[in-house]
Amino acid sequence: MKWMSALPLIALAACTAQPPRAPIVAQGGASCIDLRQVTGRRVLPPSAVLFDVPGPVSYRAELEGRCAARAQVNGSEIVQTETQTTHLCRDDRVRIYDPVEAKATGPRSFPECRIIAITAVPHS
């Protein structure tokens, strides 16, 4: 009988479920991208990576210096994130590499690029 009285409360909880979390969160004053929300990544030479997420904006991660991003851009490059969590934040790192070259040398042979800033970019 107790089970039947709890059923309306369970139904109410299901109807008031929280919407999906926003892809960018504040974490220690730094902007972070929720990697679980990322639908695409592309290099923006000479020193940035654009992360596409659902919604009206994408996020641009500025890389320290040129970090070889321009040299690896050929349309088939891979952007690999180096983070310990599901969020990519300032001071985390990415690797940009050509998959064909990486077969011969391994992805770890390409430099890590440090993220120095993350900014929202509205879709045009």
Q: What is the pLDDT along the chain (124 residues), one digit of tens a residue?
A: 454 554 454 544 544 444 444 455 544 444 899 999 999 999 988 889 999 999 999 999 999 976 755 565 777 888 999 888 999 999 999 988 888 888 888 888 888 899 999 999 998 7
Biggest CA-to-CA distance, the chain? 68
Q: Considering only CA atoms, which of 70, 66, 61, 68 is closest in space to residue 116?
A: 61
- pTM of whole model > 0.75? no
Q: Provide φ and ψ at 110, rounded to 5°.
A: -95, 145
